[in-house]
Amino acid sequence: MEYIIFIPAILMSIIIHEVSHGYAAFMLGDDTAKRAGRLNFNPLKHIDTFGTIILPVLLLITTRGGLAFGYAKPVPINPYNFKDYKKDTAITAAAGPLSNFVIAVVLSLILRMVINSTDPLTQLSQTQFLLLKSIYNIIFINLFLGLFNLIPFPPLDGSKVLGAFLSDEMYFKYTAQEKKGMMIFMFIILASYVFNLNLIGGVILPPIRFVMKILTGI
């Protein structure tokens, strides 16, 4: 039951992340995502054959369930439709992580209300416990998605947010490293698992745990 709740919820969180990029771009004058039919929450519109299906399955098989990593099909954006190329690109990029933070806050409020309305002397059923645990995990994953994507390293959203503060020359040199950046990130993730280095988790997990404590009180 935990996976029945958890997996669709995480998939929807990723979809909301991508759709938020598209809506932000649309509001700033770029209708590329809208014309591509990506401003909707149909999972089939956002599944990337390699990133959403093949890659996670291969990793699960090769690591015997120890590591899973994937991504949704990026929403198409044409920054040349923006009035301010760098600024509007940064706003569009920030919209994705912001949507994950909003999800985390909303679910945290729901979790707190449920916990506060529950008699501490009453033992929770297994179904109730799994539901609360799933909500907690979904909050955690959304915080992870938000913070991870804000890392200022191409091709992550944070690189485009940082780009708003760079000169034009530095900006285009920096964002041109997206393909190399993805390969480097894949290498880091695999190396972290193989050599048990925890390179990404060591940086992201401490602030996530701190925010989780504030949001949920747990």
Q: Where are the domains of the chain?
A: 2-216
**Token code pair at residue 88:** 């509007």
Residue 61: which residues within 8 A CB-CB, separation 6 or more?
Answer: none
Phi then psi for residue 208, to 5 deg, are: -65, -45
Measured CA to CA, the distance from residue 11 to residue 53 in angstroms comes to 12
CA 182 to chain centre: 15
Q: Check residues 91 and 141 and name the one with the higher pLDDT.
A: 91
**Region of 116 on the Ramachandran plot (φ > 0 left; ψ -120 to 50 alpha; else beta):** alpha
Catalytic residue among 2, 18, 169, 178: 18
Tell me how far apart the alpha carbons of residues 85 and 89 are, in angstroms, rounded to a whole number: 6
Confidence of residue 53 (pLDDT cuts 50, 70, 90): confident
- 63 φ/ψ angles, rounded to the nearest 5 degrees: -105, 5
Kindly report the three-state secondary structure assignment for every residue of 149-216: HCCCCCCCHHHHHHHCCCCHHHHHHHHCCHHHHHHHHHHHHHHHHHCCCCCCHHHHHHHHHHHHHHHH
Active site residue 178: no
Residue 191: the pLDDT is 76
Tell me the C-alpha distance between 57 and 30, whole Å.
34
Question: Nearest CA to 211 among 83, 97, 92?
Answer: 97
Give the Cβ contact number of residue 152 at 10 Å: 14
The first and second tokens of residue 21, run together, are 């990029």
The torsion angles phi and psi of 96, rounded to 5 degrees, stand at -65, -60
Per-residue pLDDT at 115: 87
What pLDDT does 85 receive? 93
> What percent of the chain has pLDDT above 90?
45
Q: Which tens digits make up the pLDDT trace of 94-103?
A: 999 999 999 9
Reply yes or no on whether the pLDDT at 198 is more than 80: no
Contact 52, 73 (CB under 8 A): yes
